Structure formats: structure tokens, C-alpha cells
Structure 1
């Protein structure tokens, strides 16, 4: 009996000491308030990483003429239909106000109608050439025999303007998003370049907040962006290559899913002559 009372007394003493310690902790450590505890238990979001240093480069808009290529690989939906493949656009511009974009790739048939309307969509071309000259735009559908179409509305080629390498390279090297870390100097296609890495999350956050409507719309339509590689010509300071991967919607292709973009600037101020082919002497006017 005495032993049982001793055990009960010890248990009571331990309980009293525990209560006193708890009260002491609450009094001595007011920092652990209900709000603080709630903050500790609340889920936290991953902060956007710092954007990195401003990448010094010259805008390609300063160039009087250029040659450039963009390749877009997609895996998702185009106009709500399953699509997987690539599209390549090779651009040439000169100082006479002329340009030519040659479009090839697996997805060419899927977007042919978007470029030139229902008439163009009737054909399955191996390639499509889009010419911009002082008197308007011409679309050449290269099938067994080339067919030249002169759209009544110049806006019909707006989608191709958006995916031209010049337009895309200018957008992704906008000063608001062209920030990153220098990896080092190397050689790309025989050109001495500086290689930078652009953090994908920082790019996406900056694009969405951009004052450029086109860049802002691009960012808002994306779900995510991977880290991208940017190469800058050491001598001229121009961006000559960009490789990046994204997930989300891309309006110019009416696309939604995953897509990768590879852009290369292959010629600067080459001023190549651009002439309409003979098939455009008597173009079809829808």
C-alpha cells in the first residue's frame, strides 16, 4: 500500500513539474504565438529565383539584313487535335524592304490553312514560301507545281510573322528577360561566343510582368519554362542562338502542350537579293 502511494505521489509531482515547465516556456518565449505557429505550419511556395545579371547584347533590330532559322518541336494539340512533330522557318531579309520565310516540317500541313486560308489548305505542300515585298505579301505553295497566292488581307500571314526567327529572337532576348549567368566562352558554328544560362522560372516571371504586350502575352500563356541557353557573339554583341523549352499555349500555332524552340542567327548584313518566283507573275487572288 505504501509503495502504491509512493508511485502516485511521484506521478503527481512529475505532472506538476511538466505543467510548470509548459507555463514557463509560454511566458519566456512569447515569440511562439498562435500566429507564429500557424506561419510555421502553413505551406510555403517556392520563391522565384533571382533573375541573374543583365546580359549585355545588341538588338538584332539594328541589323539592315539577316539570315536566321527557327525550329519548333511540339508535342500536344493544334486546334484541339493531337500533334507531334516539328516546324522549321528559315528567314532572309535585306535592306530593300523585302523578306522571305521558307517553312518546312512535319506540321506544315496542319498550319497551311492558317497561313493562306482555305485555298492553301487544299494542298499538301513540301514547303511554303512567304514573301514580303513593297506591294504586299505572296505565298508560294510548293507541291508538284508551285502555286502562288496573293492574299487580299495581309493579316493572313500574321501567324508566320510571329514565328519568324527574327520576331522570336527579338522577343526572348528582350532586356526584361535577357538576364542570366555566364557559363563561359566557347565556339559555336565557328563563331566565338559567350554562353549564358537563363533561369526558366525567372524568365517566366519577368515575361508575365513585361511592358511589351507580345512578351507579356507569351508569358501569360505558359505553364512553365525550363532553363534556356543563350549565345552572344563576342565580336558584334548580337544574340546568335537560343535554345529553350516551354509548356503551355502558343497562339501563333494554335498549340497547347510542350514545345522546344531553337533559334540561330546564321548571317548578319549579308543583304541577299530576294526576288519573287515566276509563279507569282500571275498569282491566284482568293
Structure 2
């Protein structure tokens, strides 16, 4: 897959600037009754303020386990982290208590998941779920949180936000539910957004809309975005840098254009070769 450098404007962090988030030598195991699965093996990556880092690889490559480790969301047990550091704001997130990490989740680092129906509370109106994030993290009043939630729903392109605010998740389409999840993630203005396969459950047209929305919001708020995906076309259009994972390890990383035009690892070359192309008739 060859890319023209004029087709994208990559974010370039200032030379020598410290990364906003840095994972160093992370290993993640799932210790089962009869075996241990080494899901992540000595993974290191970094993301700077305002840039989009894509983490790609096939299912089971360890990309989601790596992302979930940032916020301590892998189930424990059976998950253990035998080694590594996850540095954010000068502190190792792996050393924080659940209470300390809870102050960071949603406030400093937020996450959008694959399937909003498993993340949204089916018994609570969607607007209240967006507002609750702000009330929890900022102490906003009920009225203040409601106004901020309505603004967030409007910002992510949800029509008639007043009406949608009062609805339940099952009353919305898949695309609208994912927009609600993005509004929930962004209402407290986090510095990092982790998007874990955010378009997998959506049809192709809605996928495009959601990806365009994420790119627009990232630029508008100058967030760092970590985009977890297996879709290289998404990476080509949305990311500044890319990390390629295979069997729990990082096999290649670098500027998106460089990696796609001159892949150094055989696994990366095979991924690129497997990407569908529309050939001219």
C-alpha cells in the first residue's frame, strides 16, 4: 500500500518533547486453571499530546489487552502484569490503587469500546449517563452536567439532543449509540482518548461517519488518540504513527507513511498485501 504524503497532514510533536503516555516493557498474562496465556510480551510504545497513534494487528495480537491495561480494565484475576510500566503525568499507572486510577479514568484518559450496548446501562437514559461522568469527575451540579451533556451530544452530531437525552440505549441505532459513547468519553475533556475498534459493530457507511467524527474531534480538542484497529485503511487515513503487533509483541512501529510505503517486517508486509483494493476497471 503506497501513500502520497500530500494526502495527510501528520501531527509532529516538538523535537525532544516528552510523551504524554509511555508504555515500557509491558507484559500481560492471563493465568488460567491449566495454562497461562502470554497476551502481551515486552511491549513499548508512546503517544504525544495531539497525535493519533494506531495500534494494529489481527485478533489475538494483544492490542486490546495492551489498551485495557492502561486503565486497569483487564479482569483480575485471571489477568496479571508481571513486568512493565505505564507512565502518565510522571506516575506509573500500574502502581495506583483502584481509587487513584478511578480519578484518571474518564477524566484524563477515556475509552470508547467496540459495542456500546455492552458499555451503556440499558436501564438508564443516555443523557443521564453522559452527565454522570461530569458530575463524578468535576462535581458539577445536576443542571450544569445536563447542559454539558446536551452540548456533548450535539457536538458528536446527534440530532435533537433534547429528545435523545431522555431516551434509553435500545431506542437508538447502533451509530447513535456509538456517538453517545463518544460523547460520554469526551464530556470531561480528557487528554487521551483510547478507541478500541470503535466501528466494528457498524455498517460501512456509519463506520466512515464515526471515523470522520473522531478525526474532527481530535483536531478540535488537540487530544492524543490511541486507535486500536485491524483495518489498515483506517490507519492510513486517520493516524500519524502506527504500531504493528503480532502474537503479543510489537514487530514494527513508525510514521504511518514510512511504514506503509517501506514495511520492514514480513508480518507488516503480509497485512498490507491482504488489504482489499478497488482496481480501476
TM range (shorter): under 0.3
TM-score for the superposition, normalised by structure 2: 0.27
Q: Higher helix fraction: Structure 1 or Structure 2?
A: 2
Q: TM-score, normalised by structure 1?
A: 0.27
Higher strand share: 1
Greater relative contact order structure (CA < 8 Å, 6+ sep): 2
